[in-house]
Amino acid sequence: MNVLKARILKEGRNLGNGILKVDGFLNHQIDPVLIDACGRELASRFVSARATKVLTAEISGIAPALSTAFHLGVPVVYARRERPVTMPDQVLLTVAPSHTKRHPTELIVSPEYLVARDRVLIVDDFLATGQTILGLARLARAAGATLVGIGAVIEKAFEEGRRTLAACDVPIESLAIVTRMSEGEIELA
């Protein structure tokens, strides 16, 4: 997706240790037009998967997942990190190691909104180590739902998430693939 790749190369910053700063358009300040284009593209790549629901994790997955869901015409559910008072006592919960937060975080979904008949497309902002997405896949399985695909805006190929997620046995799509980050550089596939 050329518009996204151009934006990463122009505005992204390599902060070292594999940390890619893209908070000017993706995960603090958001460019709504770019996100809409990303959602439209992810939706088009997964249209044959016949998803009934998009699943993501708060916080920064919400924008691309919402846009993808809009273009697919299905609801989106975002896993919470804390159980709000509006959620039932019995929930779907899994623990995922977090690369950026440096401590494991909980992923919580209400069983009201993830059910056995759902065909689930997971969408997140980053595919890095794959641990958050793997956690979301466990939630879908716990609900008895069928995972039908995994989509990410930016993949950091060198963190091997695609290999981690191979066991899910579903199509994986990312809109920009970072192949290498060294000495302040950002290399895209």
Residues forming contacts to a copy of itself in the complex (CB under 8 A) are 15, 19, 21, 23-25, 27-33, 35-36, 58-59, 62-63, 66-67, 69-70, 73-78, 80, 84-87, 100, 109-110, 112-113
Q: CB-wise, 25 or 46, nearer to a copy of itself?
A: 25
DSSP 8-state class, residue 60? T
Nearer to a copy of itself among residue 33 and residue 166 (C-beta): 33
Is 100 or 179 the residue whose CB approaches a copy of itself more closely? Answer: 100
Q: CA-CA distances (angstroms) from residue 25 to 31, 131, 147?
A: 5, 23, 29
User: Closest distance between a copy of itself and the C-beta of residue 126, in Å?
Assistant: 12
CB of 6 to a copy of itself, least distance (A): 17
Between 32 and 144, CB nearer to a copy of itself: 32
The torsion of the CA quartet 122, 168, 104, 185, rounded to 10 degrees, works out to -70
96 has which bridge partners?
A: 105
Residue 37 CB, nearest approach to a copy of itself (Å): 11
In the bound state with a copy of itself, the residue whose beta carbon lies nearer, of 34 and 152, is 34
Phi, psi of 16 (to 5 degrees): 90, 165
Q: How far is the CB of 45 from a copy of itself (least distance, A)?
A: 17
Tokens 């950091």 correspond to what residue? 156
Ramachandran quadrant class, 31 (left: phi over 0; alpha: psi -120 to 50; beta: rest): beta
Report the nearest approach of a copy of itself to the CB of residue 97 (Å). 16
Backbone angles phi, psi at 176, to 5 degrees: -150, 135
